[in-house]
Amino acid sequence: MKTLGNYTILYDAECPMCKLYTNAFVQTGLLDKNGRAAYQQLAPDTCPMVDRQRAVNEIALINQQTGEVTYGIKSLFKIIGNAMPVFNPLFNFSPFVWLMSKVYTFISYNRRVIIPTAGDGFELQPTFKLRYRVAYLIFAWALTSYILTCYAPLLGGIMPVGNLYREALICGGQIFFQGVVISIVANKKKWDYLGNMMTISLAGGLLLLPVVLLANASGPHPVIYAGYFMLIAGLMFLEHIRRSKILGIGWALTITWAIYRAAILAAILFI
């Protein structure tokens, strides 16, 4: 594959995803060995054409010869298109560029709640945009509810089998319930907490998905499926503790998170 020489991509050193894929660009030869740098380490007097805040929000690619800068999905398209020109017609197709730019922005503005970080105190931080956070909460809520609806029949005989309406109500109810609690405990961190909480729910759902896809009528006894579900719930509880420590919100939200889930389980079993 052809290397895009004399270019430098600026990545977020606090973002594991950013570090991973920009390092992959270098390791696979899409960029040269000096083709990546953390924007946190960029000296103030270098690259005057770079919009610093925009580079924090959207990954920046700098042409070291001309100073030209591209941002976001166009940076990724330039690197990939240089190595694999067959994709360039697609990368120049306006509807596709628009769609992928929305997907990229959706991920970029939520990257700190997808994989949290305590941060290093760098002055510039990703801009918070409420519409992208709400869109992420809705996406995680909808997908998790659907996966749980598909998993519920595997627990038949142990607990009443629900439907999509029930699972959506449970997941949505937790957003509302925890949203009230975080508003009381640490209102300034409300949207960061809710994003992290729904990432935990989504991750739990994705861990259940392989079982849903592989399950069949002659599969294991429902107790096995219930045991796996409880294992995932335990991992989610531990992850909630970890993320709460990163956010610095103490134990209150973890306690109410567990109380809500225990209350819902009791209601399903006994009401």
pTM of the model: 0.90
Q: How large is the average pLDDT for residues 112-141? A: 87
Share of residues in the chain with pLDDT > 70 (%): 95
pLDDT tens by residue, 149-174: 999 989 877 877 778 999 999 999 99
Give the integer Cα–Cα distance in Å for 54 and 72.
9
Q: How large is the average pLDDT for residues 217-244? A: 90
Crossing angle (nearest 10°) for helices 130-151 and 94-108 = 90
Give me the amino acid identity at 79: I
Note the pLDDT of residue 191. 97
Note the pLDDT of residue 218. 61
Q: What token pair was written down for 63?
A: 């042409």
Instruction: Outline where DSSP puts E strands in 31-123.
Output: 36-38, 60-63, 69-71
Q: How large is the average pLDDT for residues 80-107? A: 93
pLDDT tens by residue, 98-119: 999 999 999 999 999 999 877 6
Q: What token pair was written down for 166?
A: 């029930």
Give the integer Cα–Cα distance in Å for 87 and 192.
36
Note the pLDDT of residue 17. 86
Among 241, 18, 222, 261, CA closest to 144? 261
Give the integer Cα–Cα distance in Å for 214 and 216.
7
Residue 41 has pLDDT above 90, yes or no: no
3-state SS assignment for residue 144:
helix
Give the integer Cα–Cα distance in Å for 30 and 230.
43
